[in-house]
Structure formats: structure tokens, C-alpha cells
């Protein structure tokens, strides 16, 4: 099991060193959502990835669970200023899904748009969801992911503010151009690096 923390240079970092500017640590896991919590039955759940041409692949719950599973441990940081250290997850690296979609082909896409079962969207650079930096997670702290926290499955992209880790995710679509999502069109930062305090446009 690996711990993903920015700036690790070969020695154990103190909790204060792991805390981005403007954040405070918490033991709780606050629930923040843009709307009502959707209830997604596992028998009808699917996850789809598609490229910029519209070509796509989909996985059922059973098919997703049969893929190679990883167990990342990561600090997470919310734009509302709380941080939670050493969160533990189980899920599938997004590299697995994107690798199956592209199957060695080149893509002109530089971005992805994540879409959730409740209609929520968020945009990300493609490089930030590849290279072992992002997961589709279905388990948190040893238990199935609760609906309030994005269950049955959500994105986990710990190096960015946590609004980028879309809850109840159902689709990743590769795009050639950046397409701002729900909070980005409302004035939140397009990228959202907690270490640069990129909370709002212009930060």
C-alpha cells in the first residue's frame, strides 16, 4: 500500500508539512453536495469512458469489480478548508479504464469531463487522471462507500481539491478542449491545486 502525499522526499513528513495553506485538519468526513443524494442500484450501475470521437466502453458493477483493485492511502483536501489525513480507499486506477479504451491508440484529447448520476460535472486535465494519480473508488475505510460520500463509486483524485473527485460518477469523456463543469462555471478554479490555494478563478 502506498501513501500519496505531495512533495515526499524520502523522510516522514509531519502532519503540519502535509497540510496545504489555508486548511485545517479534521478527523470527521464532512458531507458536501451540490444537490440531493442519488440512489444508484448496483444492478443498474455502469461506468463509461469515451474518447473525443465518441467511441466508448462501459463496465457493469460486476465487470468493474473483476478488474485489478488498488488500495491507495491519501490525504484529501476540500475547498471549504478541511483536510483529512491518511484516508484509505479501494478501487480501480483510471489508467485501467483509459488503457482499455485507447488500446494503444493515440488521442488528441488533453482533458476529461467527468459526469455523475445526478448531472454534476467537473473538468480535469487528462494528465491528472493518468499515471497512477486517480481512481474509481468503491470502498472507504474498509466499508462500501456510503451514498452520502459518493457511493456506490466516486472518483478519488487526492492531489486536487476534492470537488474534482466527482461523487456518483458514471462517465469520463475525453475532450480536445477544456469544458468547465458545475463549480467551474460558478467561479471555482479550473484546476484546483490545494498547495497553490486555487479555490476560485484568478487564484
Q: In sequence order, what are the beta bridge partners of 125?
A: 111
Residue 9: predicted pLDDT: 46
Cell of 143: 466499508
Q: What is the pLDDT of residue 197?
A: 97
User: What local confidence, expressed as pLDDT, does residue 34 receive?
Assistant: 65
pLDDT of residue 121: 97
Query: Given this model, what pLDDT does residue 69 score?
Result: 98
Mean pLDDT by 10 residues, the chain (203 residues): 42 85 91 80 97 96 98 97 97 98 95 97 98 98 96 98 97 97 96 97 87
Residue 139 — φ and ψ, nearest 5°?
-135, 135
Q: Residue 192's beta-bridge partner residues? A: none
Domains by residue range for the chain, with CATH: 43-195 (3.90.420.10)
Q: Which candidate, 158, 154, 189, 194, places its Cα nearest to that of 24? A: 194
Q: What is the pLDDT of residue 11?
A: 60
Amino acid at each position: 500500500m502506498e501513501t500519496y502525499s505531495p512533495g515526499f522526499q524520502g523522510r516522514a513528513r509531519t502532519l503540519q508539512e502535509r497540510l496545504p495553506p489555508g486548511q485545517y485538519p479534521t478527523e470527521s468526513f464532512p458531507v458536501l453536495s451540490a444537490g440531493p443524494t442519488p440512489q444508484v442500484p448496483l444492478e443498474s450501475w455502469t461506468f463509461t469512458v469515451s474518447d473525443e470521437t465518441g467511441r466508448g466502453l462501459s463496465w457493469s458493477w460486476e465487470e468493474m469489480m473483476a478488474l485489478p483493485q488498488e488500495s491507495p492511502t491519501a490525504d484529501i483536501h476540500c475547498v471549504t478548508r478541511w483536510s483529512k489525513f491518511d484516508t484509505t480507499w479501494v478501487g480501480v486506477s483510471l489508467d485501467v479504464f483509459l488503457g482499455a479504451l485507447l488500446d494503444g491508440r493515440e488521442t488528441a484529447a488533453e482533458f476529461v469531463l467527468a459526469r455523475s448520476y445526478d448531472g454534476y460535472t467537473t473538468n480535469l486535465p487528462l494528465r491528472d487522471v493518468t499515471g497512477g494519480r486517480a481512481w474509481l473508488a468503491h470502498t472507504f475505510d474498509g466499508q462500501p462507500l456510503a451514498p452520502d460520500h459518493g457511493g456506490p463509486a466516486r472518483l478519488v483524485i487526492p492531489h486536487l481539491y476534492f470537488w474534482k473527485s466527482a461523487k456518483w460518477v458514471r462517465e469520463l469523456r475525453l475532450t480536445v478542449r477544456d469544458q468547465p463543469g458545475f463549480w467551474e462555471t460558478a467561479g471555482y478554479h479550473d484546476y484546483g491545486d490545494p498547495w497553490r490555494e486555487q479555490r476560485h478563478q484568478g487564484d
